[in-house]
Amino acid sequence: MSDTTSAGKAIKVSVTGFDLINKPMLNKGVAFNESERNTFRLHGILPPHIGTMEEQIERRLKGMRSFATDFERYAFLRELQDSNETLFYALLVRYIDELLPLVYTPTVGEGCQHFSEIWRKPRGLFLSYPNKQRIRDILADPRFDPVRVIVVSDGERILGLGDQGAGGMGIPIGKLSLYTACAGIHPDLTLPILLDVGTNNTERLSNPLYIGWRHERVVGAEYDAFVEEFVEAVVERWPDILLQWEDFAGSNASRLLEKYRDRLCTFNDDIQGTASIAAGTLLAAVNVTGVKLTDQRIAVLGAGSAGCGISNLLLRAMVDAGLDEDLARASFYLVDRNGLIVEGMEGITPAQEPFVQQRDAIDTWVLEKPYQVGLLEVMRNAKPTVLIGVSGQAGAFTEPVIREMAKHVQRPVIFPLSNPTSRSEGTPQHLMEWTDGRALIGTGSPFSPVTWNGKTTPVDQTNNSYIFPGIGLGVLGAHARRVTDGMFMVAAKVVAAMSPTAQDHNGRLLPPVDQLRAVSLAVAKAVARQAQADGVADPCDEATLDQRIQSFVWEPKYCPYELVPPC
């Protein structure tokens, strides 16, 4: 038993030395000091050298760098997380630039694809369909008493890689690693969950090593009943829980969000977190282009969860900035697999409905096929100032599309947001070449700096990692009862205010990744205030609020252990 949330103070434990070594949150490896080795009878179990965390960081860094591939580095880091969690976070926080792409996007994608092959130790919970009756029992484990945040996925839309079944667990684990690394939320307060409702991925199903429930996906009423059972059990177990939905496919994402957003403190990261970082990056781009938000024309490739979420938040921002709502709606051009979404088209989803283009608005357009308007035709006729890719279609921002866009706009704003790298709609190098270096770029996955005309510039990562850790910290600090749209708007504004472009109009669009801790704290403070303003958290003075937020920020440092004699 332990009290691991009181960082800094001595921690009282009543376990054996062997347990200390085997519990990732308590283990210190060779950094157990002489007195701890005496108290917990660790002599002999550990080699004689008493190390420091600094040395351990160096050793792990060297080990990690010695691997040939990022996937091996991912597996090495996951193993460290499962053996010495404090060291894992100390390393991650110190070298966040280098390690973020390994524990998170893009490498986490391969981590999910090969999850079964590298599975070693349990982390989080697999709630499998055949265990439907046992959900409450599973959640009841006292180990989970401190849990305050859950990230849940059903593995069906893992990044742009499709259905990964139980392997999708890599995503909740990766997202929650960022809650700790970027927002400082203690690992014991977090719980990754995978709803294992089967998979339609034939490769996974036929892999003898697959660790998930070997069954085709449960759908329809049975799926809904399973999710309902899960949510009810979660709320019963932790009435104040923050529940983040992640990487659900197609209509499930928006349907489940609408169903549950007024029943508990919950949000969908792909819809709302993504919208916030896309809006934040666009607001930063406005500082450079000088084109006001209300004058933007926005083309979005992929009108699914992210595409509709982004369009909704930008629409609200335009209306807040004074634009008439109908005019604002008409500035959006959503292009899905059957082309531009136009009135009368079959299969328009409720989330797409507000952004349907009127037939008469495109009557004057020169079209090759009158009933299927492609991205190139949107570029030629609508002359968008912004192009956002959330389609999961690699290379969809083709040379003709980008050259056409660049003909009509001085500084085209182009965000290929699909992940991982292999699914990006375009590479920064191509986008710079095809716009003669005029593009302002934000990508979902990290890219190397891009060189144009002898000048090398870093590429900004328009990823919801700038948003969700701060949302979580703000919600916890404010004791918010619900997650509101206003929180995502304010988070976007905070990111834009922290953008180097706010000071220097030639600066990069986003604060660099190594400032994610500062960004998350600033987002958290604004989100907590927004929670009070929206009436979903009780009021208190600013200093108290900031103190409450700060009390959730854990630093990955070892604390001395003292033995509590078992009573």
Ligand X SMILES: O=C(O)C[C@H](O)C(=O)O
Ligand Y SMILES: NC(=O)c1ccc[n+]([C@@H]2O[C@H](COP(=O)([O-])OP(=O)(O)OC[C@H]3O[C@@H](n4cnc5c(N)ncnc54)[C@H](O)[C@@H]3O)[C@@H](O)[C@H]2O)c1
Contact call for residue 172 and ligand Y (CB under 6 A): no
Per CB under 6 A, the list member of 81, 164, 296, 418 interacting with ligand Y is 418
Measured torsion, CA atoms of residues 342, 345, 347, 351, in degrees rounded to the nearest 10: 20
Query: Is residue 311 within 8 Å of residue 298, measured between CB atoms?
Result: yes
Stretch that binds Mn ion, among 80-88, 130-138, 246-254, 472-480 (CB under 5 A): 246-254
3-state secondary structure 105-124: CCHHHHHHHCHHHHCCCCCC
DSSP code of residue 534:
T
Identify whether the C-beta of residue 418 lies closer than 8 Å to the C-beta of residue 389.
yes
Q: Which helix (H) or strand (E) holds 255?
A: helix 250-260
Residue 152 is which amino acid?
V
Nearer Cβ to ligand Y (316/423)? 423
547 to 227, 542, 550: CA distances (angstroms): 36, 8, 5
Angle at alpha carbon of residue 372, lines to 255 and 424, rounded to 5°: 60
Scan for tokens 């009290």, then name that residue.
3
Q: Is residue 56 involved in binding ligand Y (CB under 6 A)?
A: no
CB-nearer residue toward ligand Y: 307 or 556 = 307
Annotated catalytic residues are: 104, 175
Q: Annotated binding residue at 246?
A: yes
Q: Would you give the binding string for ligand X spanning residues 400-429, x where CB under 6 A is met?
A: -------------------x----------
Among ligand Y, ligand X, Mn ion, none, residue 305 binds (CB under 5-8 Å by kind): ligand Y
- How far is it, in rounded angstroms, from Cα 351 to Cα 304? 8
* Contact code string over 143-172 relative to Mn ion, x by CB under 5 A: ------------------------------
Strand, coil or helix: what is 428? helix
Instruction: Give residues 423-452 in contact with ligand Y (rule: CB under 6 A).
Output: 423, 444
The contact pattern for ligand X, residues 264-283, with x = CB under 6 A and - = no contact, is: -----xx-------------
- Give the span between the Cα atoms of 293 and 312, in whole angstroms: 14
- Say if residue 394 is exposed, middle or buried (CB neighbours under 10 Å; 0-12, 13-18, 19+): middle
One-letter amino acid identity for 414?
Answer: I
Binding pattern to ligand X, positions 87-106, x when CB under 6 A?
A: ------------------x-
Judged by beta carbon distances under 5 to 8 A according to partner kind, the member of ligand Y, Mn ion, ligand X, none in contact with residue 114 is none
Three-state DSSP state, 510 = coil
Shorter beta-carbon distance to ligand X: residue 139 or 471: 471
> Does the footprint of ligand Y cover residue 464 (CB under 6 A)?
yes
Q: How far is CA 470 from the centre of its chain?
A: 11
Q: Which of 337, 407, 505, 557 binds ligand Y (CB under 6 A)?
A: 337
Q: Which stretch binds ligand Y (CB under 6 A): 25-33, 82-90, 138-146, 418-426?
A: 418-426
312 near ligand Y, rule: CB under 6 A: no
Q: Is residue 291 within 8 Å of 239, Cβ to Cβ?
A: no
Gap between the Cα atoms of 148 and 225, Å rounded: 24
| Residue among 463, 499, 501, 520 that touches ligand X (CB under 6 A) | 463
Closer by beta carbon to ligand X, 435 or else 464? 464
**393 lines the binding site for ligand Y (CB under 6 A):** yes
Interacting residues with Mn ion (CB under 5 A): 246-247, 270
Interacting residues with ligand Y (CB under 6 A): 157, 159-160, 249-250, 270, 274, 277, 301-307, 335-337, 390-393, 417-419, 423, 444, 462-464
Interacting residues with ligand X (CB under 6 A): 105, 159, 247, 269-270, 419, 444, 463-464
